[in-house]
Chain A
């Protein structure tokens, strides 16, 4: 094995290369662009074989990706943010083609206001699309998850496209030590993609994505996709077990850190979970029984594993790096639905929104979140959802507003 410093984007490109993907429909968008540039460079330089086709939009890019997968070629593509939303019609459509491929999303907050920095509203907008979703917390996990994602997506019980998510900037542009597996080992782990008898060939005509008449066949195919996604729980478990055996790194549907005997558990997805990791250690040092549960698999949703991991906890602090406007945190809602009525369900499920558009979640905030959640558990009442924001941050915005008003007046606008 070869241990090198790689950005999340480079790790993603390595994942696609090692997986022996052969087709790369591409479209640039920050902070994803480095992935397709890296692949294009390797292909042009002869370091790997494959075909990279620049499309004119993400909508077309996802269409081309699924069409190639449906023809029987292992396909990789990547996007971010507005790009994922622009492709959204096709995300929903192509999952029904049951043609497996991997799409890396580099999370970036959605307009408006427009920004380049990260949160998870983009990937969670694809929550109901039929794509499997793996959310990564480190650059190593990005590379490894791409290999695992191909195994799960191509599994004959599943046959659904998979989305591997990493946080923009926090992972995409941050170098971390990454073990790059030997290609021979990867070839053992991930066999050649076989489409069996459903690819488009002159000798075997196939009709894909055809219309249905009425709700009866429609429901049948939608249920089939849902049941296949549920099968991905088992397929992922097997693929991860095999991965650990081959490469020595273990991945569950959940990452549970010091949560077994924890009183209060942080629950959050993505790279900020590494901060929560640290906070758990500091809190433990101070005698606070904190733990962390991070959902790695978001679709399919590992409901049984979550009930088990959280049974008996006094309180769970759900930190959503997303905001469903008019509702609150998406993961909080999902987790509440999972735990309601479950045996040993934590009595307090507190909701915190933070980290939107690249805003940091500081260690002090994590300590405060833990304290508030423990307090609530002791008092037996669930606190109101909190939008993390400090007085100092509000003052900064007030300053910007004052400048905007002054400039407007100076330019002869309204007083």
Chain B
């Protein structure tokens, strides 16, 4: 451990070397090797700090705290799949009441962080999330989005991208739907802040966490989480696949603040989407036994249309 306490210092992150060098989240958890979600959680926790309570929705990360161990230096509350934002509401309200009545000192305060997978964030927990934003709840919401119900073997979720093979879409077409735009759903609620991030771009992520940490109100950090077992790739490639998600434009890095959406990275040159798709077994049926030109073109065109609207 260095003397630096990342969560307690008001750091201003400009370059890679400004990133905290000490890591707060312990290792040795039950999560998979190469987990992109855990990577983004590590990076977030280093900047956010230990004066936090993670309110968890059912998902892969529920296994982080398994009695009697936890990798967190701060607090943890598991709730259910659908109601983590309500758990954050109860903790937040109670801490406010205790501080108002001077039963605890202000330095005992904690930031409430919902920790949710895409299954809860895009689906079952969306109603509780929407309502927490309506109420202006002062909380941070980290969604690790591995684009499927990963903990149960990667069945399709509302976050699954078009044409991806899942445990429930094992045929040659893959998932027939389109990935739901959770960022836009959040933005439509006019929250204090919303941003997309990815662990493979730690500087961008850290800057957004730092910004979110300084704001009050509902704040989203939506992290694409490359998932070795769910997406079918070697764990050593997790970071590279994350980078490709950004460089092909599949995962736009952006933020919402004061009613405006800003892209924090515009890939230039933008690589063909194939470069990303071919790294993962879940898209292998688009290349073998024969290239599915029609679907590949469709995916590329959809991306091109998105980026042509970004100025």
Contacts and interface: CB of A to CB of B under 8 A. Distances in A.
Nearest to B82: A59
Interface string B69-96: 0101111111110111111111101111
Given A51-B96, A71-B98, A72-B98, A207 B76 contact: yes
B40 interface: no
A23 B79 contact: no
A90 B93 CA distance: 19
B66 A213 contact: yes
Interface of A: 22-23, 25, 51, 53-57, 59-61, 63-73, 75, 89-90, 93, 200-203, 205-213, 217
B89 A67 contact: yes
Given A23-B94, A73-B97, A211-B65, 6 more contacts: A51-B97, A55-B89, A70-B90, A75-B90, A208-B78, A213-B67
A55 B94 contact: no
Contact of B66 (A70, A203, A210): A210
A200 B131 contact: no
B135 interface: yes
Interface of B: 50-51, 53, 55, 62-63, 65-67, 70, 72-80, 82-91, 93-98, 101, 103-104, 107-110, 127-128, 130-131, 134-135
Nearest to B54: A207
A93 B58 CA distance: 12
26 contacts: A25-B89, A56-B128, A59-B83, A63-B84, A63-B90, A64-B89, A67-B55, A67-B77, A68-B93, A70-B77, A71-B95, A72-B103, A73-B93, A73-B94, A73-B98, A75-B90, A93-B80, A200-B75, A200-B110, A205-B74, A206-B75, A206-B76, A207-B77, A209-B79, A211-B67, A212-B66
The 7 A-B pairs of least Cβ separation, nearest first, read A67-B90, A60-B86, A71-B94, A56-B131, A64-B90, A68-B94, A63-B83
Nearest to B90: A67
B110 to A, nearest CB: 6
B110 A53 contact: no
B96 A60 contact: no
A53 B89 contact: yes
> Of residues B66, B82, B83, B98, which shows the largest number of chain A Cβ atoms within 10 Å of its Cβ?
B83
Contacts of A72: 94, 98, 103
A209 B64 CA distance: 12
Contact of B73 (A51, A75, A205): A205
A59 B90 CA distance: 13
